[in-house]
Structure 1
Amino acid sequence: MWRSAAIDRRGFIKAAGIGFLAALKPEALLALDRADAVYASGIRTANGSFAVATVTERGEIVDKVALPARAHGMAYSTATGRTVAFARRPGTFAMIFDPWNKSEPIVIASPEGRHFYGHGAFSPNGRLLYASENDFDNNRGMIGLYDAANRFARIGEYETYGVGPHDMTVSDDGRILIIANGGIETHPDFGRTKLNLGNMQPSLTLIDAASGALIEKHTLPPRWSSVSTRHVDLDASGRIWFACQYEGHRRDLPPLVGHFRRGDDLAFIDLPEETTRRLANYVGAIAVNRKEGLVGVTSPIGGASVTIDAKTGKVLREKSVRDAAGIAPASGGFAVSSYDGDFLSNHSDVAWDQHIVRIAHPPLIR
C-alpha cells in the first residue's frame, strides 16, 4: 500500500532509532531530515567494491551496507522492514538486512544445483521469502522458499512451469505468486551466455502460494517467441504489468510492455513507434505508482525512462537518462537511477545497479 512521502521519511527516522542516527555523518543526517522518501539499491562504489545504499528521493546517500559481490534486484517487507539484495545471475548469494541497522545482515546461499536469478519477494506478512532460481542441470525454473523466522533457512521449492524465471511478485492477499519466465536457457558453466535464442519459451505464470500448483500459464505467441518476459509489478486494481527484452533483430519493433489479469489473455500496450525505438527493444525495469495510476519503465540501452497512464496505456512522458537503471514510485511520478551515478537530479560517485526498492514506513511486527 502507498504511504505518503512525509510518512515515509518520518517513519524511517522513527524506526532508525538514536543509535543509527548517531552513527551517521552530518551530511547524511541533513539529507535524511529533508528527504521525502527513502529507497535502497545495489551500487558499485568508486573503489570497485559492492554495497547496498540507502538513498533519499533527492539522490543523497544516507548509509551503505557492504555486499560480498554484485547485486541485482531488491525486495522489501513492509511487515518487518527487512530488505533483501539478490545476487546477479548466476550468483548464489542473497543478503537480508535491516535498513535501520537493528540486526546483523544474514547471507544465504542457493543450494547445490541452483543459482539465483536476481529477484524475489516477501509474503505480505514477511514470514516467507520467495526467490527465483535456476535448476540449471534440468533447465527448470524454480522458486525457493525461505523461512524468515529461522534465519531464512530454505524450506522448499516450487516449479515456475517455465524456463529462465527472472522477476516475480506476490498478490496483495499473498495467495498467488506471479512469475516472469524469460524463456532463456542458461547454465553457470557458460556464464551469462544465452543458450537457446533460436528456441525461446517466454511465459508468465500464476502459481498457488500455498501448494505450488499451476493456476495459469500465458505463453507468448510464436510471432513473439523472442520477446523475453522479464519484469512484473501490480497496479492498485490487481492488474499485472510486465516488461520485456527482445532477443531478435534490432530493427524489429516488438511489443515491450503489457498487462493481464487472472483469467484474461495477455494484452500488449501499443507504444508509439518512436517510443519503442527509444527503448531500444530492451526494458530493464518496470514500476507502478499506485497512488498516481502510472507505470514507469527504463532502458539502459536506449538511455530512456517512459511514463505510461495505467488506465489508458498511453505514453505520458519520455525522458533521456543515460544508462537508465532502476525505477520506483515517487511523489510526482518515479525515482530513476543510472549506471552513471545519477539518482533523479543528484550525481554520486557510485554506479547504481539495475533496480530500486522503496523502503517506506516503520515495521509493523518483528
Structure 2
Amino acid sequence: MSTTPTINWSEDQSARPARPARSAHWHSESCAPPPRRVVVADDSTKAATAYQLACEGTALLWQGDFHNARQLLRAMARRIDRKANPARPDATPAESFHLHRRARGHRARVLGRLLVLLDDDHSLTLRRAPDVRQACTEAYGPPRGERAVSLTELLGVIGAHQWREKGVEVPALGEGVRIHPHYGVFSPVRGEYIDLVARAPLPSAAGGGRAFDLGTGTGVLAAVLARRGLSHVVATDIGPRALVCARENAARLGLADRVEVTGPALYPEGRADLVVCNPPWLPARPTSTVEQGVYDPDGTMLHGFLNGLAGHLRPGGEGWLVLSDLAEHLGLRTREDLLTAITTAGLHVTDRLDTSPHHPRARDTTDPLHSARAAEVTSLWRLTPD
C-alpha cells in the first residue's frame, strides 16, 4: 500500500456529463503537508478570491494560462506584503529576525497554495507553459506518475535548472571558470568567502598534502584547494544532491583525480594537513533543503567541526573556519560563545582574515535586517590544536 501523500479535487460539476473527482500524488520540497481542500482555478479567478482562499488554507489547482498563473502569484504576493506588520522600532535584533522569519514563513505558505499538476512525464500541460521536463527530472528524478506541486516550488526548479546550465563564475578558480549548482544545493553566489580560502596562507605542512572540505555543497572550496596545490582533497556533505553536484563540478574542472567526494559523515576517515569548513552561518532551523546552506540548528555543524578538528589534523596542520558574524549582529550568537566553543574544543586561534560582503542585500535599506547585514563581516579563522 502506497504511503505517498495525495491531493483530491473535483472537476467542474456543471459540465455535462459531470467530471468525476480526481487525485494526484503530492510533492513538497519543504515537506509541507498536502492541502486538505483543493479547488480548481483558472484565468477567471480573481486575485482577491485566490488570496482569501489561500489564507484560509484552501489550495488552488491552476488550469489556465501559465503566464496568468505567474501574474496571479505576484498579485497575491502584493496583498501579503501590504498586510504585513511593520517592523517594531523597539524590537531587539533577535526579535526582528524571528518576526522576519515568521512573516517569510507565512508568505511562503500562502503563496505555496497555488498548485500546478505535472503529468506522468514531468510535462506541464498549461497554455504557454515552458518545457519543464528536464528541470523537473534534475530536481525530482525520473517521473513516477502525476504529481501536484506548488507553483512557487516549480518556479524554483526552473530557476535552478537555468543556474545549472549557466553556472556561477568563480574568479578564484580562474578567468571565466564556472561552478554549476544543482537544485537544492546552495549556490556560491557570495564570492567573498571563496576569496578568503583562495588567499589565506597555506600551513607549511599542507603543501602538496591532504585536505578535507567539510560540507562541500557544490564542491567550490574543494576545487579552490586542489587548484592551490593540495594533492588530495576529500570533500564531504550530508546531502545526496550535493554529493552528485560536487562530483560533477570536480569532473568538469578536470579535478576528479584529486577531489574525492563522500558522505554523509561530517569528517572522513583519517587525518589531513588542512581542514576547511564553511558551516551555515545562522543557528536556526531550516524550512527547506536549500535553507540548509544558511541555517544550522543549535550550531550543530559548527560544533561538530570544532570538536572533531584536533583529532583529524596531522602534525603542523590547521583548521580553517569560514564564518560570518551575522548571527552576532542578530543576537543569535555572541563572539564570546564562538571563542568559548573554540577553546573548549582544545583549539587556538593563530590568525583571522576578514572581508565585508558585496551582495546587494547589504545595501538594501528596505530590508528589515539591513542594519545587521550592513555590519556583517565574514572571517576565516586559522585554528590549531593547543
Which structure's residues are more often helix, by fraction? Answer: 2
**TM-score band (shorter)?**
under 0.3
Instruction: Answer 1 or 2: which has greater strand percent.
Output: 1
Q: TM-score, normalised by structure 1?
A: 0.25
1 or 2 for the larger relative contact order (CA 8 Å, sep ≥6)?
1
